[in-house]
Chains A and B, each alone.
Chain A
Amino acid sequence: MTTLVDILSWVLLTLGGLSVLIGGIGALRMPDLYTRMHAASVTDSMGTILVLLGIMLQAGWSLATIKLIAILLFLLLTGPTSSNALASAALLAGTRPFEEADQDDNEGQE
């Protein structure tokens, strides 16, 4: 039983570390602000859930688990809120999303 929980938590931690890393690479390499936000939200939601669930399995039933649940809930509530505020502020300032639609239309007509 203990081994099973250990294996499960290692898998969750590995997947969480991987998605955190993928999101970081995406936030560096994506071409424009909105696509970068899309990459960053992967780490904010998926990486947080996976890593904190993996740690929770290691902690067992204790006060640490309750604190971890509080951290998880708080991050899940605040991450989308700040992403929304960021996107609306950027739109208001006149940042346009990156588009290839114009080129595609031209190619379609030819």
Chain B
Amino acid sequence: MYYAVTIATLVTMGLALIRAVLGPSVYDRVLAVNMIGTKTVLLLSVIAFLYGRPDFLDLALAYALINFIGVLAVLEFFRNRALRRSTERDEGK
């Protein structure tokens, strides 16, 4: 049964990867990458019990923290860029 969840998670990560490659805007890519990160945490937790190695749960916890901080940093960067562009456009008028 762990195998079913593992395969479902892997397929979802593949679909999210396709969306990250296709994604028309940069926010679609950020969304897909965030999704892949969350699915990685789930996958690590399931694999910890699939192989009977509970140490993997620590890795999942650390990955959840890193993923959150990374997504927020990337979003802050693009948010600043959008703000700068809109102020430049207003000054142009």
Q: Which residues of A contact B (CB under 8 A)?
A: 10, 13-14, 16-18, 20-21, 23-25, 27-28, 33, 36-37, 40, 43-44, 47-48, 51-52, 54-55, 58-59, 62-64, 67-68, 70-71, 74-75, 78-79, 81-82, 85-86, 88-90, 92-95
Give chain A's interface secondary structure class. Answer: helix
Given contacts A89-B82, A92-B82, contact A23 B12 (CB under 8 A): yes
Q: Residues of B with Cβ closer than 8 Å to A?
A: 1-2, 4-5, 7-9, 11-16, 18-19, 25, 27-28, 30-32, 34-35, 38-39, 41-42, 45-46, 48-49, 54, 57-58, 60-61, 64-65, 67-68, 71-72, 75-76, 78-79, 82-83, 86
